[in-house]
């Protein structure tokens, strides 16, 4: 027995020495010479660190922050939670049809590869059966659940107006994004704007694009929520009869109402005015206690979203910012029901408090959104591995959470990471990257080896492929 214990102790010492060697080689990589590097690798069986470096330092996580957002959403709402969008009569005006948003980001979404128009077709079919032919109705879209700030105040100008920085509101439609199509065959002029899909009434563009011969999309659309003025800058490939870039729909609630009106008219119904709650909501800031602008009556039909576990998987596999921003706001609205309370702030506050109550040291966590797009977001590698261990060993949502993470070398944002090596398919993780930031956090499970890991690199001086390669070598060395 004594000899066995001595042998085990010697093996542990050797293993620790090897891990430290691998870690030091990673930190000393030339591409990381001037970088801040946080590393935490924890054995989930014992709960003890395997290897770490500046594990308690707050660093910018980029999209790795989505792990915190999705874990909290699963814990609060449960894996089978579904958003419900009711279509109802106004109790005070039976000719006024209300579309009451619940913050569902999946309405007419591309993410689940179904018929994007099915939402409108289903609603039109249901209303045709209950509304009187020959009578004119109005549509009032209740999209005020999260207020109308829509975006984080910490997002940068270069992001606002682009599809990956789409606003989050009580009503979402078409992933709150549109495609702007160009003809780029004339190499002596700016790309010629053709159309948007879907069509958005009143949207205008100041075209400052140029053409390139690299074939790369470097085009960006700039603009703020609820403004119809957009600027298009950067460069896109020359020689295309059609080329598109994506932007953020300025007023998704209104677009949903206008699109639904088209379907209802095609079904033979008379539709007049289409409005949203925005103007009434903004007026309510100055007149607290004013009469509610609508009163929901008979529910005519209800649209139900996919279950939360599927939405969370979309967030983590495809790094869907839009879905993540809706999740952080529904977390906030569940904790503060007043539509005038800032849903984003309430959500980030709830997240911090939730994990504090479970014994986490949340002092390293600074959240300014749910997706990780804000450069001011910060968290430590240690907090991430603590959360990962909790979700693996303690949570009732373990299978949904782990199942939401892409397999390295096989799918999603990790399809080209850790491929064709012995850990391919044995690592599931979330990646995160914005300017000067490259992070990975997740699980490495190989036989009896069960690790939670977080590797965070900020302000690297090498190229991104070099940094990714260094992280791959480090994980492979474990």
pLDDT tens digits, one per residue of 99-119: 999 999 999 999 987 788 999
Tokens of 187: 């190499």
Percent of all residues in the chain with a pLDDT value above 70, rounded to a whole number: 96
Residue 101 has a pLDDT of 98
The HSE-up count of residue 84 (CA atoms within 13 Å, CB side) is 9
Q: Identify the helix (H) or strand (E) that includes residue 335.
A: helix 321-335
Q: Where are the alpha helices (DSSP H) in 367-426?
A: 381-393, 398-403
The HSE-up count of residue 244 (CA atoms within 13 Å, CB side) is 13
**Residue 156: band (very low, low, confident or very high) from pLDDT cuts 50, 70, 90:** very high
Residue 419 has a pLDDT of 75
Q: What is the CA 240 to chain-centroid distance, rounded?
A: 31
SS3 212: strand
Distance CA 92, CA 375 (A): 47
Sort strands 270-276 and 136-142 into parallel, antiparallel or unpaired: parallel
pTM of the model: 0.93
DSSP annotation of 57 reads S
Distance CA 362, CA 349 (A): 11
**Residue 420: band (very low, low, confident or very high) from pLDDT cuts 50, 70, 90:** low
**Residue 9: band (very low, low, confident or very high) from pLDDT cuts 50, 70, 90:** very low
SS3 15: helix
Average pLDDT over residues 83-90: 97
Residue 220 has a pLDDT of 94
Q: Identify the helix (H) or strand (E) that includes residue 434.
A: strand 427-434
Q: Is the pLDDT of residue 18 over 90?
A: no
Residue 133 has a pLDDT of 87
Domains of the chain (ranges, CATH numbers): 12-79+310-477 (3.40.710.10), 84-304 (no CATH)
**Residue 1: band (very low, low, confident or very high) from pLDDT cuts 50, 70, 90:** low
Percent of all residues in the chain with a pLDDT value above 90, rounded to a whole number: 85
Distance CA 117, CA 107 (A): 9
- Sequence-separated (6 or more) residues with CB below 8 Å from residue 465: none
Residue 54 has a pLDDT of 96
Distance CA 144, CA 352 (A): 25
Q: Is the pLDDT of residue 8 over 50?
A: no
CB 174 within 8 A of CB 249: yes
Residue 7 has a pLDDT of 47
Buried b (16+ CB within 10 A) or exposed e, 363-395: ebbbbbbbbbbbbebbbbbbbbbbbbbbbbeeb
Average pLDDT over residues 133-162: 95
Distance CA 339, CA 330 (A): 11
Residue 460 has a pLDDT of 95
């Amino acid at each position: 027995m004594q000899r066995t214990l001595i042998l085990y102790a010697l093996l542990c010492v050797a293993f620790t020495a090897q891990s430290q060697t691998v870690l030091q080689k990673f930190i000393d990589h030339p591409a990381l010479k001037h970088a801040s590097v946080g590393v935490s690798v924890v054995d989930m069986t014992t709960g003890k660190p395997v290897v770490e470096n500046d594990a308690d330092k707050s660093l910018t996580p980029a999209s790795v922050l989505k792990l915190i957002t999705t874990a909290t959403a699963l814990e609060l709402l449960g894996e089978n939670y579904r958003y419900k969008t009711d279509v109802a009569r106004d109790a005070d005006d039976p000719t006024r049809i209300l579309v009451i948003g619940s913050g569902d980001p999946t309405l007419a979404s591309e993410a689940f590869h179904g018929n994007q128009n099915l939402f409108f077709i289903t609603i039109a079919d249901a209303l045709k059966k209950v509304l009187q032919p020959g009578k004119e109705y109005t549509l009032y879209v209740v999209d005020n659940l999260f207020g109308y700030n829509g975006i984080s105040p910490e997002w940068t100008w270069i992001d606002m107006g682009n599809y990956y920085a789409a606003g989050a509101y009580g009503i979402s439609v078409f992933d709150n994004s549109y495609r702007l199509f160009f003809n780029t065959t004339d190499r002596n002029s700016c790309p010629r704007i053709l159309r948007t899909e879907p069509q958005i009434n009143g949207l205008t563009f100041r075209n400052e694009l140029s053409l390139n011969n690299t074939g790369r999309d470097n085009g960006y659309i700039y603009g703020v929520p609820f403004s119809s003025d957009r600027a298009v800058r950067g460069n896109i490939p020359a020689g295309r009869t059609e080329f598109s870039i994506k932007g953020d729909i300025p007023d998704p609630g209104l677009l949903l109402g206008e699109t639904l009106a088209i379907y209802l008219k095609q079904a033979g119904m008379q539709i007049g005015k289409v409005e949203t709650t925005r103007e009434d909501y903004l007026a309510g800031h100055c007149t607290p206690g004013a009469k509610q602008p609508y009163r929901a009556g008979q529910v005519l039909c209800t649209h139900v979203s996919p279950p939360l576990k599927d939405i969370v998987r979309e967030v983590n596999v495809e790094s869907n910012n839009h879905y993540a921003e809706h999740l952080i706001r529904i977390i906030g609205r569940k904790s503060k029901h007043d539509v005038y309370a800032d849903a984003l702030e309430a959500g980030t506050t709830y997240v911090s408090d939730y994990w504090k109550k479970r014994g986490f040291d949340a002092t390293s966590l600074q959240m300014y959104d749910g997706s990780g797009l804000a450069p001011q977001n910060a968290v430590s590698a240690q907090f991430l591995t603590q959360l990962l261990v909790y979700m693996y060993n303690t949570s009732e949502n373990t299978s949904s959470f782990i199942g939401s993470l892409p397999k390295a070398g096989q799918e999603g944002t990790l399809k080209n990471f850790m491929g064709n090596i012995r850990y391919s398919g044995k690592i599931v993780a979330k990646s995160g990257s914005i300017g000067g930031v490259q992070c990975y956090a997740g699980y490495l499970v190989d036989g009896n080896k069960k690790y939670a890991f977080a590797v965070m690199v900020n302000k690297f001086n090498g190229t991104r492929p070099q940094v990714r390669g260094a992280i791959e070598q480090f994980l492979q060395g474990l």
